[in-house]
Amino acid sequence: MKIPLYKPYVGEEETKAVLRVLQSRKLSRGPEVEAFEREFAKYTNKKFAVAVNSGTSGLHILVRVMAWKKGDEVITTPFSYISSANALLFEGVTPVFVDIDPVTLNIDLKKIEEKITSKTKGIMLVHIFGLSATSEALRRIKKKYGLQIIEDACEAVGRIGDDFTISQIGEASVYGFHENKQITTCGEGGMIVTDDPRIARICRSMRDQGRSLEKNWIKKVILGYNFRMTEVQATFGREQLKRIDSMLARRESIARKYSDLLSGIAGVTIPEQSLLSKRSWFLYFIILKNQKTRDYVHDRLTNAGISSSTNYFPPIYKFPMYKDRKVRCDNSEKISNTLLTLPMFFEMSDVEVENVANVIRKSLTKKQ
């Protein structure tokens, strides 16, 4: 493709840092991981950060730390990457799917309480496409029912503030660093953040085969995993973190340009403009009037050498491992069938954005 859907930034600094680590011969359980954890905790204004090999691994660990188990129910969204609900399924927890708000595409907070039962232990809160799902209404629900919340912030890395309230309601949160994310740790990686020292301590142990953090660790081992981040991943991530503000600013600039170019085209719904600056721009999306039109635009983009995706996100309950659940979420199904994701990456030029928008405009004009 002349214009890919995503392209990770690999600068000279990242290359030099990786080479330095390789030459050190210290590739695991080293100072780069520890430094990255300190720096990321500071960036997200949290007390503790625990590096792992993927966002999925981080979610899985936290489900164990929350002591959610078979017979428990946890409320979550069906409109997400499958890893969020899979983290529950790994431990035998029943995901209870609540439909999404058609504007924010996050879980519809007005529909949560009707799904709460005596078996409900918590909420797997997913911040879809980098938009915070945190709200005062959710805080009230959490307190009223005594629920625990894990925040899936894998698409939502960013500096915390009044307009960006990620990691402000859950017991812990997980960020993802796959190569399609806003920053990456050399292709794969994740980070758990929390203010709770107990959670941080158990997560550090569980990501490393359940080893105790004490010197004579072999006498105090819990059941854990090999979910460690490597030194190469960490040093790559540290360099990305140094320029994260400029990388996020560029992505927002791309989103604004897309919105300017695509607004007013008949049959195209762009992301809610009042939320532009409140989102960490993981990707840009549009919603078409129906699936046939969406697929047509996707084909025209493909023919022009432009990558786009029609697969963000099929409702999770339609995957084989969830087929036994009798669920239907109308908004999730409608959005899934009409949403198209467009190219977005740090080095994307304004001309490339214009090319994408022009193909969309021409394809819809021709179709009409």
Q: For the domain that residue 84 is a member of, what is the CATH number?
A: 3.40.640.10
Whether 6 maps to a domain, the answer reads: no
Same domain, 95 and 117: yes
pLDDT of residue 109: 96
Same domain, 222 and 330: no
Same domain, 150 and 19: yes
Residues in the chain: 368
Q: For the domain that residue 319 is a member of, what is the CATH number?
A: 3.90.1150.10
Same domain, 177 and 65: yes
Whether 235 maps to a domain, the answer reads: yes
Same domain, 211 and 351: no
Q: Is the dihedral of CA 65, 69, 75, 76 positive or negative?
A: positive
Same domain, 72 and 180: yes
pLDDT of residue 368: 57
pLDDT of residue 367: 60
Same domain, 202 and 317: no
Q: How far is CA 332 from CA 135, 206, 264, in A?
A: 21, 34, 24
Same domain, 235 and 249: no
The tally of domains found in the chain comes to 2
pLDDT of residue 163: 87
- Residues 362, 297 contacting (CB under 8 angstroms): no
Whether 65 maps to a domain, the answer reads: yes
Same domain, 234 and 262: no
Same domain, 215 and 250: no
Same domain, 302 and 232: no
Whether 173 maps to a domain, the answer reads: yes
Whether 74 maps to a domain, the answer reads: yes
Picking from 242, 267, 292, the residue at the C-terminal end of a domain is 242
Q: Residue 95 in 3-state DSSP?
A: strand
Total-model pTM: 0.96
User: Digits of tens for pLDDT over the chain (368 positions)?
Assistant: 899 999 999 999 999 999 999 999 999 999 999 999 999 999 999 999 999 999 999 999 999 999 999 999 999 999 999 999 999 999 999 999 999 999 999 999 999 999 999 999 999 999 999 999 999 999 999 999 999 999 999 999 999 988 899 999 999 999 999 999 999 999 999 999 999 999 999 999 999 999 877 777 676 788 899 999 999 999 999 999 999 999 999 999 999 999 999 999 999 999 999 999 999 999 999 999 999 999 999 999 999 999 999 989 999 999 999 976 789 999 999 999 999 999 999 999 999 999 999 999 999 986 65
Strand-pairing partners, residue 124, are: 76, 150
Residue 293, phi then psi, degrees to nearest 5 = -65, -40
Which residues are within 8 A (CB) of 313 and not within 5 positions of it... i.e. 6 or more apart?
79, 80, 81, 82, 336
Whether 58 maps to a domain, the answer reads: yes
Picking from 242, 275, 299, the residue at the C-terminal end of a domain is 242
Whether 354 maps to a domain, the answer reads: yes
Domain, as residue range, for 357? 244-367
pLDDT of residue 219: 67
Same domain, 47 and 167: yes
Whether 5 maps to a domain, the answer reads: no
pLDDT of residue 243: 97
Taking alpha carbons only, the member of 5, 4, 6, 2 closest to residue 177 is: 6
Picking from 179, 214, 242, the residue at the C-terminal end of a domain is 242
